[in-house]
Amino acid sequence: MVEKKIKIVHIAEAFSTGIYTYLKDLTSYMIGLPNSDDFETVIIYSKRDVLDESKIANDFSQNVRFIKVQMTRNISPKSDFKSLLKLRGILKMERPDILHLHSSKAGVLGRIAATGIVKKSHIFYSPHGYAFLRQDISPTAQKIYQLIEKYVQFFFGGTTIGSGETELEFARKIGKTYFVRNGIDFKNQKFIEDSILKNNFTVGTIGVLHAQKNPSGFNEIAQKLPEVNFIWIGDGELRNQITAPNVKITGWIGSREELLSITSTFDVYLQVSLWEGLSIAILEAMALGKPIVASNIVGNKDSVVDSKTGFLVNSMDEAVLAIKKLQDNSLRAQMGKASYKHCKEFFDKDKNFDELVKIYKRA
């Protein structure tokens, strides 16, 4: 008798950058398991402007099925209702054994859509940075998002997967939670040493040029350090906020290998986001042995150990000071080694995703 496969359906409203990498690595890990035939994986995703859909076929196994459903990031009753009906119809057809939701919007729509279709105990939710932590919305909007999280959890259930210690603190106040750190693929982390010879000290970052990533703050730091090279890997609607002549914007990079190769040329990885989940980009840089200078916020505090693997900063002036300190070769090498070691110990995807799969199986 052939055993029924466990069907896992992921819903990702923000299917770009970090969540894209997370699902790519998770599905890759599961397909590599000895019992991979026990699982069937479907990803329901929404296209953001930064998503290059032509890459999906190369980045994901052909065993992963994709269904596109448009979802908006902000609250939009008309659009949200359409998305909800579409998701409910798909879930009725797919009948998942496990439903895993990624980002706040997917967490809300997915749990409502799954009512009566998927058992509450089989629904998991990864916030990847709660929406109520956003700094580009009013305090009133933050409170509304927080109440939505609380009451959707109360009425529609599900278990939150906290990816970092600070996110876990928020999650436990809302409802049932498991702790599974994000992870990255150390097996394919090939660029431990700089692959390009360069003369100038280089500071870089990866991300979408939008409010969350604080491009104006990044630009301010570059202006105060005119002798330093700055690189921004990515693009976005706030590109015009980068005006410093010592900043190069690369646009989006086509392959992970090229991305890591460029990142390996950084002397320091800089991320001055206004809010974050547990950043995959920071973890990638740590795995390359880079010291990190990052804003002292939820998410960043879960990966960067202040004064050991880099510096957590509360202002752009503090970031400038930290970068100046890291121009010391000895300190930079010391923090770079500590960064790699810390990342390897706590954020290896093989160890962390093994815990997630066990949670799936126990549901």
Whether the CB-CB separation of 291 and 309 falls below 8 Å is answered with yes
Mean pLDDT of 355-361: 94
User: What tokens does 288 get?
Assistant: 């390359």
Q: Using 50, 70 and 90 to split pLDDT, how confident is the model at 49?
A: low
CB 306 within 8 Å of CB 286: no
Using the predicted structure, report yes or no on whether residue 50 has a pLDDT greater than 70. Answer: no
Across 209-241, b (16+ Cβ under 10 Å) vs e yields bbbbbbbebbbbbbbbbeebbbbbbbbbebeeb
Q: Model confidence over 134-153: pLDDT tens digits?
A: 888 899 999 999 999 999 99
Q: Is the pLDDT of residue 169 over 80?
A: yes
Task: Provide the pLDDT for residue 258.
Answer: 86
- Residue 355 burial (CB < 10 Å; 0-12/13-18/19+)? middle
The pLDDT value given to residue 260: 86
pLDDT at 192 over 50: no
pLDDT digits (tens, 9 = 90+) for 283-308: 999 999 999 999 999 899 999 999 99
What is the amino acid identity at position 235?
D
**Residue labelled with tokens 């890291």:** 326
8 A C-beta contact, residue 197 and residue 225: no
Q: State mean pLDDT over 328-344.
A: 95
- Contacting residues for 116 by C-beta, under 8 A, at least 6 apart: none
C-alpha separations of 106 from 3, 31, 257 in Å = 30, 24, 30
Q: How confident is the model at residue 277 (pLDDT cuts 50, 70, 90)?
A: confident
Scan for tokens 């500071």, then name that residue.
203
